[in-house]
Structure 1
Amino acid sequence: MSTFPNVYTHRKVADTASKSCAICYKLSTSVLITEGKQDFFYVCPSHLKDKGFCTPIVDQAAIDAQKKKDLDDEIARVKKEYEEKQRKKKEKEEGDKSNEKADDKKEASTTDKKDQAKKPDSTSATKEGESTKAEEEPRIFQLHRTFYQNRVTMKRQAEADKRNRERFSNPAFFPSVPKGLP
């Protein structure tokens, strides 16, 4: 019998498959499971945030890659906006100098309307970015020593009980009645 590693992955199950939390016995759809599926238990999401229960294992390389990707996207967006503004400014300068002020006002109002139309799009994009960041919670956890030792002890006890049940169901396990004279 080998013990399992103290690395648990957080998974969600359907509402119909929810079971009681191993800590507080409330119904939960969150499951912590080891890599080889040797051990699993249901736990409330609030317990995962508890520093006394487990600590998240953070993949720093993945976080750095995500930050770099977000920064590159932001740079590309800003460059695009700057080029657009420069293009509009150039078009405005190239326009006839003899245009009336009314035409200028019309252009200014249409540009303002376009800018106002663009603003809700940019705010919705930031809201979507915030929601994805909120959904990205740590998925890999390490239990604290006492909780992990409790899981290992429970697993060993379950295996010992299983072995005993198998032995007791075998009739050869018990001694036979003596047949000779004493």
Structure 2
Amino acid sequence: MATPLPNVWHLRRVADTAAKSCLICHKPSSSVLTTPNNKDFFYVCPAHLKDRHFCSPVIDAKEEEAKKRAESMAKEIENVKKEYEEKQKRKKEKQKEKKEKEKDDSKDSSDSKDQSAKPDADKTDKKERDDKIEAIKKAQSTDTSTSDDSPRVFALHKNFYQMRIDRIRNMEAAKRNRQRLQDPSFFPSVPSGGL
């Protein structure tokens, strides 16, 4: 017979007003462990989730990889910002030097044409930087699904897992018994015939 439920439990949170007693200590808890197919669930305190004798977190390789990508993208965003700021400082220094040279030399209108082209270059640089940052942020938002660092998937230890399996089997047996009792063919029939 196949296992009635896998030993994979997802942590869900409910509103504080919907909190029910913890399976272990019977204190009100708003944390719920559920199976992926929602066949079974129970309330448990967050402190019990850290107990190594109750359950252990299941580390998802994809999730870990997504976190690493998010961190690298955040670093990349910082690098892009720093590069942009350095470029802006260099441009400002160059503009100051040119203005000083212009004051000294007072050249003809060709210099004024170059100055009018520079603000356009600044705008394109800003636009490129903003586009890069937006693209990185979009990729980062799609990669990371949770901002909470606590694990979201757990595996119960064998005793607690066996308790949940036994509970489900008992519920199914009780359901079958109720159905049998409602079926009139379950009971023996009255003997017919004479004496």
Deviations 1:46-101 (A, max 9, x none): 11111111111111222222212322221232332243134324523652569xxx
Q: Which residue of 1 aligns with 2:174?
A: 161
Tell me the SS of whatever aligns to 1:153: helix
1:105: which partner in 2?
A: none
Residue 80 of structure 2 corresponds to residue 67 of structure 1: no
Q: Which has the larger radius of gyration?
A: 2
Give percent identity, aligned residues only. 45
Deviation at 1:152, TM superposition (A): 0.4
Alignment of 1:111-150 (within 5 A): 135-150=148-163
The aligned amino acid for 1:137 is S
Q: What's the CA shift for 1:157? A: 0.9
Q: Aligned-pair RMSD on alpha carbons?
A: 2.8
For residues 113-141 of structure 1, what are the alpha-carbon distances to aligned partners after superposition, in whole Å with 9 as ceiling and x for unaligned? xxxxxxxxxxxxxxxxxxx9872321111
2:41 aligned residue = 40
In 1, distance between residues paired with 2:159 and 2:21? 20
Structure 1 counterpart of 2:163, one-letter code:
N
User: Unaligned stretches of 5+ in structure 2?
Assistant: 102-144
| Residue aligning to 1:28 | 29
* Aligned with residue 170 of structure 1, among 169, 183, 191: 183
* Residues matched between the structures, number: 150
Q: Distance in 2 between matches of 1:35 and 1:134?
A: 21
Letter in 2 for 1:15: D
